[in-house]
Amino acid sequence: MDVLQPVGRTLLRDRAYEALREAIVRGDLAPGAPLKDADLAERLGLSRAPVREALVRLGDEGLVESKPQSYTRVTRPVSRVVRDAASVVRVMHELAARTGVPLLGPEGIRAMREANERFAAAVRASDVEAALDADDELHQVLVVASGNHAAAATIARYTPLIRRVERRLFGDAGSCGSAELHARLIDACEAGDAVGAVRVTTEIWAALEQLADDAIEVAEVTGIPAPVDPVVSVEAARPAGSSDGAGPAGSSDGARPAGSPVPPARPVP
C-alpha cells in the first residue's frame, strides 16, 4: 500500500512539506531514498511546484540533499548534525523551562501530569505514536507558557533531524525511566523551582543526545539505518482549513514562503 496519500487543496506548499517531512521522520522515505518531484506530486495529488518548494525547504532543514543534474534524496543521519540539532533543541527547552515555570498555573501542572500518565502507559504498551504524542503534549506546556515564539520555532525547525533516531527510545519498555524524569520535572514546576526544572530538562535531553549518538554510530558502522516504526500512514499534517483558492495540480497555492518557520510542533522527549 502506498504510504503517500493525496492531500487537500489548501496551503499546498505547507501540506506537501508536512507530509514529506512526516514520511522522512517516520522512515517511510528511508535515508538515501531518491526523491523525484514528479513521482511525489502524483502520489500526493499535487502539482510539481509545491512539491519542489517543499523539497527545497526540507533541504534547508537538513532532511533532503540535492546535487544539480544528479540526484535529490533523503539524507542519512550524521552524528555531528544530529548532535548539533539536539543541543540546540535542548537549550530551547531549557529556556522554556526557565521562563515558563514562573508563569505556569495549576491547569498547566495538571496537563503535564496527565500527559505523563499517558506517556508511561504508551511506553509500557510499546505504542510509539501514543508515547510521542503524550511526550510532545507534556513539553509543549512549558513552551507555550514561556510565550517565546522564537524558541518554539527553533524547536520545530530542528526536532525532525533527531526524530528519526530517537524513535527507538519509545519502543523500549525500559525507557519508562523517562516518565520518572518527567515526574521530577513536573514536581519542580509545581514547586515553582525554575532552576530545578532547568536541571531536569538538561538531564532529559542529555539522555536523548546520547541515545542519538549511539544509534547513529551503529548505523554508520554497520550501514544499517537506526530502527524506525515500520508501519505508518502519511497524511497532511493539518486538517483542511481556509481555502487558498488553489485548484488541482498546477494551481497556485498561496502558502507561506519556503524556508519560513513552522508553527510549534512535536518537541521530543
Does 54 score more than 90 pLDDT? yes
Provide DSSP, 185-252. Answer: HHHHHHTT-HHHHHHHHHHHHHHHHHHHHHHHHHHHHHSPPPP------B--SS---S-----STT--
CA atoms within 13 A on the CB side of 189: 32
pLDDT in tens, 97-145: 999 999 999 999 999 999 999 999 988 888 888 888 898 899 999 999 9
The residues with which 236 forms a beta bridge, in sequence order, are none
pLDDT at 26: 85
Three-state SS annotation for 60-108: HCCCEEEECCCEEEECCCCHHHHHHHHHHHHHHHHHHHHHHHHHCCHHH
Does 21 score more than 70 pLDDT? yes
Quick one: average pLDDT of 207-212? 70
Whether the upstream peptide bond of residue 31 has omega within 30° of 0, thus cis, is no
pLDDT at 224: 43
Least confident span in 26-40, 82-96, 160-174, 220-234? 220-234
pLDDT in tens, 210-253: 766 665 665 554 444 443 333 222 333 333 333 333 333 333 33
Contact partners, residue 216, CB within 8 Å, separation at least 6? 77, 78, 79, 82, 165, 226
pLDDT at 219: 52
pLDDT at 29: 92
pTM more than 0.95: no
The residues with which 22 forms a beta bridge, in sequence order, are none
pLDDT at 186: 97
pLDDT at 125: 87
Give counts: helices (H), strands (E), the chain. 9, 2
Between 79 and 41, name the one with better pLDDT. Answer: 41
Please state, rounded to an integer, the average pLDDT across all residues of the chain: 77
pLDDT at 2: 63
pLDDT in tens, 156-198: 999 888 877 777 555 544 454 688 999 999 999 999 999 999 9
124, 173 in Cβ contact below 8 A? yes
Does 268 score more than 60 pLDDT? no
Between 268 and 155, name the one with better pLDDT. Answer: 155
